[in-house]
Structure 1
Amino acid sequence: MKWFNECNQEIGFPLKDWQPKKYPERVTIEGKHCWIEPLNSQTHAAQLFEAHKKAKDERIWTYIPIGPFNNLEDYQKFITDIANSSQEVQFAIINKKTGRSVGSFALMRIDKENGVAEVGYVVFSPELQKTTMATEAHYLLMKYVFESLDYRRLEWKCDSLNKPSQAAAQRLGYKFEGTFRQIQVYKGRNRDTHWFSVIDCEWDHCEKAFEQWMDEENFVNGKQKRSLVQVRENLGR
């Protein structure tokens, strides 16, 4: 269907009674394998610093403008600064089995007037990477954005050379939109940025895929029978 104005110009579809949405809150959201809670230095910094130090190298810091951190004091200061920022809402990801922080991410570039946010500052420790817990953490955040906040769009952006991040975005259901060339200088080098997004009309499909993938029947001895991508494809549109 197409829409036209009084000048017979084609325009976008109408949004009846559209109102700006509320700003994300520093909420705690519980899942089966993990929960996410507001990030703060006192509770999480030491645990996260310890968790990240278990990595075999510093590759998690390569494609983001922060880190690596060589001492706890510097890392605590960083966590304090971002946790108190008015520009984003930071979350720690807590392993339900241990009660310890194993990663963090944020809602940033928040545009409540248009119902848009970006998930960023995704820094997962080895304990969290490539686990059901990691997938569930993203699911909890996405569900909050689309259902509790009623936003229309959630973005994912990464360095165009960051292949793992691109694969993660597409696995989670984000669609590639294009590349912004030479958009940033960080750590003394150029960055071209790939943009991905999920929009509100796609969320129901994404949510069903997440829930089917996380179902206990999809796992045998901790190993998945079907990948999240396969589950989503089998659901169709």
Structure 2
Amino acid sequence: MASRAPNPLGAIVSTDPARRPSRNTRLAGRYVTLVGLSAAHADPLYPHISGPDNAHLWDYMFDGPYDDIAAFRSTLKARETSRDPVFYAILSNKKLAEAGHDGKEDDAVVGIASYLRIDPGNRSIEVGHLMYSPQLQRTPAATEAMYLMLRHAFEDLGYRRYEWKCNSLNEPSRRAALRLGFTYEGLFRKHFIAKGRSRDTTWYSIVDDEWPGVKQALEAWLDPANFDGENKQLKKLEECKR
């Protein structure tokens, strides 16, 4: 009787767990600094993400929009103690510099981001709950915030998989994932009921083998030499990947 061929198996990898992210971590870049989110960030951020003109910012979020500042403060207060997700405020370095030593750091907040679905054992983590104020959207600062979180997850915390998920109808989020270097993985149909509406979820990821190339492209695009005197890009991020 012929011997049975062995089944194919995955590569052997270290089972050492990754580190959990901490809200006490401070991630500083050229344009932005990320710090643990607190209720103190509510008041300066609220005017930029509230009201009828900004209601669309909440269309694909699981919460909001908020009709009053008290409810928003309460939400951010609860997020101070969350272990998954771990929330961060995105601070504008330009606003920090303008505030000087006498200014309040909290007043520089321009957005929110988080790590979630944190799985140290399998070394997998997701980025999400992104709330970018109009001041942050489509700026080098927005890209840098994602770069800082990616670098921290792979290089400091030891994760091997970094996920991005979004409502399949959220075309700007899908474009952003591909632009940043994420790979499309598939569509989870009828994944959630969010705010009474059916949601299909699109999945993307970057894995540790891909990170060096993604990092090189992001750093090349963020390099000050890639921007002219009016802070306009000379090369698109897609061109930096070549």
- Structure richer in strand, relative to its length: 1
Partner of 2:83: 86
| Mapping 1:149-160, distance limit 5 Å | 149-160=157-168
- CA deviations over 1:121-144 (Å, ceiling 9, x no partner): 000000000000111111000000
Partner of 2:231: 222
Offset of 1:184 from its aligned partner?
Answer: 0.4
Q: Is the 8 A contact 1:153 1:198 kept in 2?
A: yes
Offset of 1:94 from its aligned partner?
Answer: 0.2
- CA deviations over 1:15-36 (Å, ceiling 9, x no partner): 1x43111111220011011100
Instruction: Return the alpha-carbon distance in structure 1 between the equivalents of residues 115 and 204 of structure 2.
Output: 15
Structure-2 change in CA distance of 1:139 and 1:212 (3 Å): same
Letter in 2 for 1:21: A
Residue 65 in structure 1 maps to residue 62 in structure 2: yes
Instruction: Return the alpha-carbon distance in structure 2 between the equivalents of residues 58 and 18 of structure 1.
Output: 44
- CA deviations over 1:156-202 (Å, ceiling 9, x no partner): 00000000000011111111100000010011110000000000001
Partner of 1:23: 20
Letter in 1 for 2:67: N
Instruction: Return the alpha-carbon distance in structure 2 between the equivalents of residues 175 and 64 of structure 1.
Output: 22
Instruction: Return the alpha-carbon distance in structure 1 between the equivalents of residues 213 and 51 of structure 2.
Output: 36
- CA deviations over 1:17-60 (Å, ceiling 9, x no partner): 43111111220011011100000112x11111122138833111
Partner of 1:169: 177
Letter in 2 for 1:92: A
Gaps of 5+ in 2: 97-107
Match of 2:71 among 71, 74, 87: 74
Partner of 2:153: 145
Structure-2 change in CA distance of 1:70 and 1:54 (3 Å): closer
Gaps of 5+ in 1: 1-5
Q: Is the 8 A contact 1:55 1:125 kept in 2?
A: no
- The TM-score with structure 2 as length reference comes to 0.90
Q: Is the 8 A contact 2:50 2:65 kept in 1?
A: no
- The TM-score with structure 1 as length reference comes to 0.92
Structure-2 change in CA distance of 1:184 and 1:211 (3 Å): same
Instruction: Return the alpha-carbon distance in structure 2 between the equivalents of residues 173 and 151 of structure 1.
Output: 17
Cα RMSD of the aligned pairs, angstroms, is: 1.4
- CA deviations over 1:67-115 (Å, ceiling 9, x no partner): 0011110000111112211222100000011120000110001000011
Partner of 1:34: 32
Match of 2:123 among 89, 107, 115: 115
SS of the residue 1:118 aligns to: strand
Partner of 2:204: 196
Residue 178 in structure 1 maps to residue 186 in structure 2: yes
Offset of 1:7 from its aligned partner?
Answer: 6.4
Number of residue equivalences = 226
Q: What is the percentage of aligned positions where both structures have the same residue?
A: 36
Q: Is the 8 A contact 2:168 2:200 kept in 1?
A: yes
SS of the residue 2:54 aligns to: coil
Q: Is the 8 A contact 2:113 2:131 kept in 1?
A: yes
TM superposition outliers: structure 1 runs of 4+ over 2 Å: 53-57
